[in-house]
Amino acid sequence: MQDPVSWLSQSSSRCGEPTRGGLSRMSLAALMLVAAILGGVFAVGLFSAFHPPTEAAAALSPASVAAGPRDLQSSFVAIADRVRPAVVNINTEQEIRRQFYAFDPESFWLDPGGSPFRPYTQVEKRSNLGSGFIVSRDGYILTNAHVIAGADRIRVTLADDRSFPARLVRADMDNDLAIIKINAGNDLPTAKLGNSDEVKVGSWAIAIGSPFGFSETVTVGVISAKGRVVRQEGGERVMRDLLQTDAAINFGNSGGPLVNIDGEVIGINQAIFSPSGTGNIGIGFAIPMDARTRRAVQDIISGRSRAV
Query: Quick check: is 176 catalytic?
Result: yes
- The catalytic position among 131, 136, 176, 215 is 176
- The catalytic position among 131, 196, 224, 254 is 254
Say whether 196-302 and 85-181 share the same fold.
yes
Distances (CA, A) of 197 to 79, 291, 292: 20, 8, 11
With a CB cutoff of 8 Å and minimum separation 6, the contacts of 190 are 86, 134, 135, 136, 137
Alpha carbons 76 and 162: distance in angstroms, whole number? 25
Alpha carbons 4 and 39: distance in angstroms, whole number? 14
Q: Which of 163, 169, 164, 171 is nearest to 181 (CA)?
A: 169
Q: Which CATH superfamily is domain 196-302 in?
A: Trypsin-like serine proteases (2.40.10.10)
Query: Quick check: is 136 catalytic?
Result: no
Mean pLDDT of 180-199: 95
| CB-neighbour burial class of residue 261 (10 A; exposed 0-12, middle 13-18, buried 19+) | middle
Residue 6 carries which side chain, given as an amino acid letter?
A: S
pLDDT digits (tens, 9 = 90+) for 257-283: 999 999 999 999 999 988 877 788 899
Q: SS3 string of 59-116?
A: CCCHHHHHHHHHHHHHHHHHHHHHHHHHEEEEEEEEEEEEEEEEECHHHHHHCCCCCC
Q: How far is CA 189 from the centre of its chain?
A: 19
CATH C-level class of 85-181: mainly beta
| Cα radius of gyration rounded to whole Å, the chain | 38
Residue 20 carries which side chain, given as an amino acid letter?
A: R
pLDDT digits (tens, 9 = 90+) for 132-177: 999 999 999 999 999 999 999 999 999 999 999 999 999 998 889 9
**Dihedral angle of Cα 126, 130, 135, 141, to the nearest 10 degrees:** 0
Output the pTM of the full model: 0.71
Outline where DSSP puts E strands in the chain: 87-103, 117-134, 140-143, 153-157, 163-172, 177-181, 204-209, 217-231, 238-245, 257-259, 265-272, 284-288
pLDDT digits (tens, 9 = 90+) for 218-257: 999 999 999 999 887 666 678 889 999 999 999 999 999 9
Q: Which of 106-115, 167-176, 225-234, 292-301 has the lowest mean pLDDT?
A: 106-115
**Given a cut of 90, is residue 92 above it in pLDDT?**
yes
**Given a cut of 50, is residue 1 above it in pLDDT?**
no
Query: Quick check: is 146 catalytic?
Result: yes
With a CB cutoff of 8 Å and minimum separation 6, the contacts of 280 are 248, 249, 250, 272, 274
Alpha carbons 39 and 62: distance in angstroms, whole number? 38
**Given a cut of 90, is residue 290 above it in pLDDT?**
yes
**Predicted pLDDT of residue 302:** 83
- The catalytic position among 131, 136, 146, 210 is 146
Judged by DSSP in three states, 232 sits in coil
With a CB cutoff of 8 Å and minimum separation 6, the contacts of 228 are 241, 242, 243, 244, 285
- Domain residue ranges in the chain: 85-181, 196-302
